[in-house]
Amino acid sequence: MNLKSIRFEDKFKLFDDYWTPKCIAKLDNYIVKVVKIKDHFVWHKHIDCDEIFIVYKGKMRIDFRNESVELNEGEMFVIEKGKEHKPFAENVCEVILIERNDVLNTGDTRNEYTREQIEWI
């Protein structure tokens, strides 16, 4: 067996595009993804699953219809299933996501940000 740790820093160096998550690990029916974000995403929700945002570098905001939450480096937030949200980062922010393996990045919405296939890095 070839045991090897995963270094987030190394994974984030492998890509520069925004809003295009990359898979880095799988556990049971969950996927750990890394993504770089900047500017606005789209309003969406995940009908039947929660998702976790962990800020690795930078800072971001997650807007909800009536409130928002700010996340700084080293902080995380769990978005409950069915909760409409829109992530935003004024500057580049590196984020670790933990989601069920069947989750579409744009949830119940399909548009230019939708990624049907997520690349493994």
Quote the pLDDT of residue 7.
97
pLDDT digits (tens, 9 = 90+) for 68-86: 999 999 999 999 999 999 9
- The C-alpha atoms of residue 107 and residue 82 are separated, in whole angstroms, by 10
pLDDT digits (tens, 9 = 90+) for 8-55: 999 999 999 999 999 999 999 999 999 999 999 889 899 999 999 999
- The C-alpha atoms of residue 18 and residue 38 are separated, in whole angstroms, by 6
- The C-alpha atoms of residue 52 and residue 85 are separated, in whole angstroms, by 13
Q: What angle do CA 30, 76, 10 make, to 5 degrees?
A: 70
pTM: 0.91
Q: Are 55 and 8 in contact (CB under 8 A)?
A: no
Quote the pLDDT of residue 1.
65
Q: What are phi and psi of 11, to 5 degrees?
A: -65, -45
What is the three-class DSSP state of 8? helix
Domains and CATH numbers, the chain: 25-120 (2.60.120.10)
Mention every residue, 6+ apart, whose C-beta is less than 8 A from residue 91: 38, 58, 59
For the segment 56-74, the average pLDDT, to the nearest whole number, is: 98
Quote the pLDDT of residue 112.
72
- The C-alpha atoms of residue 80 and residue 77 are separated, in whole angstroms, by 10
Q: Residue type at 93?
A: C
Quote the pLDDT of residue 90.
98
